[in-house]
Chains A and B, each alone.
Chain A
Amino acid sequence: MKPVGNDPVTRLDEALELLPRGIEPPRDLWPVIEARLERRPLRAPGRWPWLAAAAVLLVVGSSLITASLLRREPAATAQAPVARPEAAVTRAAFGPGQTLDPAYDVIRQQLADSLAARIDRLPPAARAKLEANLAELHRATAEINAALELSPGDPLLEELLINSYQDELAVLASVNQLTGPNGSAATNDEVSTRIPL
């Protein structure tokens, strides 16, 4: 390959930037790595500040989206009143003895309010699916927390709980996608394919 621009150094830098950063190894390295991992006792976590941080990010994003929707679709607010979703209003926990950041539930409520505004803009079927997914996640979270009461520190249960919180983030993010770049609601077909779970 020859440098093709007027400035060879610049062209070289451009060519370097085009190279892929990541490359998969020819074989899966995980089995060897896993065999070398020393098991360490599960450390009892204290607070979960990342939950608050994640919620703050979602609230900021949700608020911006909501403001955009309200600005762009004033007529849509005149729709018939709909039931408020029960999204993200249940108290979050992480098994017995786990202290959540006190600000988390406050932020969670703000998130629920923001989410409710966006859900109102979705087609009824989309709203129903979203609410059903969130309700299912909350039910699963409650069940896992109940199981953690019986088996504190169980790694499998903790992983399931982490996955539930991640799934909730994915569902909330899907609302952002469903509202589309111009604030319009998605079709029911899009909803069926784009809402996780």
Chain B
Amino acid sequence: MAESGGESEFERARRAADERVLVDAAVRGSAAAFEKLYRSHVGKVYGLCLRMTANPTIAEDCAQEAFVQAWRSLPAFENRSSFGTWLHRIAVNAVLARGRRRQEILGSEMSAEESVAETLSDPSSPDPAAAIDLEQAIARLPPGARQALVLVGIYGYSHEETAAMLGIAVGTCKSQLHRARQLLGERLNAPEVTA
């Protein structure tokens, strides 16, 4: 094993062990440990919610709900998956539940899209303008296509995992992703969107 690779694996193992400690303490009722887990995971959870809802305000609500639900469900957490993956599933459920309760996330508004794009634009990106264009185009996608693209294309879940999280068939997930890619391709090539 190369030293650099070994060192990296060692560090990863240490972080995983650290997280296990925190999860174990949180399972047993330690809010302090759960806050550390929150600090460690809130970025990805909020980013996931923001991209899925295309609405910063609703994304905040969903992220909060996800962590509250995670706290309630922690005693049943069995370490079969990583805590992060488990938390993401809860966040997706929070987004979907919110969508069922309110229609507001089913149609994104331009102001929300702009806000999302601004929030998500990474100043360290080699091409920030391109990233903003892409985020805006994602925010404009129909909800089903957007959610499939976010989970598969950005967060790297498989079609099977994504279909299970969204409660749809695998074939539907694939067709939604295909539709998302098609729409993105069209919109990113449109003159009014091109930077």
Contact = CB atoms under 8 A, between A and B. Distances in A.
Interface in B116-158: 119-120, 122, 125-127, 129-131, 133-135, 149, 153-155
Given A22-B43, A36-B64, A2 B189 contact: yes
A56 to B, nearest CB: 9
A64 B38 contact: no
Contact of B47 (A16, A22, A57): A22
A37 interface: yes
Contacts of A39: 29, 31
A24 interface: yes
A189 interface: no
B194 A2 contact: yes
Nearest to A65: B6
A159 B126 CA distance: 42
Interface in B35-79: 35, 38-39, 42-44, 46-47, 50, 56, 59-60, 63-64, 67-68, 71-72, 75
Nearest to B2: A181
B104 interface: no
A34 B31 contact: yes
A138 to B, nearest CB: 17
Contact of B21 (A42, A57, A165): A165
Given A1-B127, A1-B130, A2-B188, A33 B64 contact: yes
Interface residues of A, number: 60
Contact of B10 (A26, A162, A176): A176
Contacts of A18: 125-126, 131
A106 interface: no
Contacts of B185: 3, 8-9, 12
Interface string A1-19: 1110000110011011111
Contacts of B63: 25, 29
A48 B20 CA distance: 10
B24 A1 contact: no
B-side interface size class: 35 or more
A183 B3 contact: yes
Contacts of A58: 10, 13-14, 17
Of B18, B21, B153, most buried by chain A (CB within 10 Å of CB) is B21
Contacts of B133: 1
A22 B87 CA distance: 14
Given A15-B130, A29-B60, A48-B24, A1 B194 contact: yes
B109 interface: no
A37 B184 contact: no
Contacts of A61: 6, 9-10, 13
Contact of B129 (A1, A40, A181): A1
Contact of B24 (A12, A45, A68): A45
B7 A176 contact: yes
28 contacts: A1-B127, A1-B134, A12-B185, A16-B149, A20-B120, A21-B43, A23-B47, A24-B42, A25-B60, A25-B63, A29-B63, A33-B71, A38-B71, A40-B29, A42-B30, A43-B27, A50-B24, A53-B20, A54-B21, A57-B13, A57-B16, A57-B17, A61-B6, A61-B13, A64-B1, A159-B32, A170-B14, A182-B3
Given A57-B13, A65-B6, A181-B3, 10 more contacts: A1-B133, A2-B194, A12-B184, A13-B153, A20-B125, A22-B47, A29-B64, A38-B71, A50-B17, A162-B22
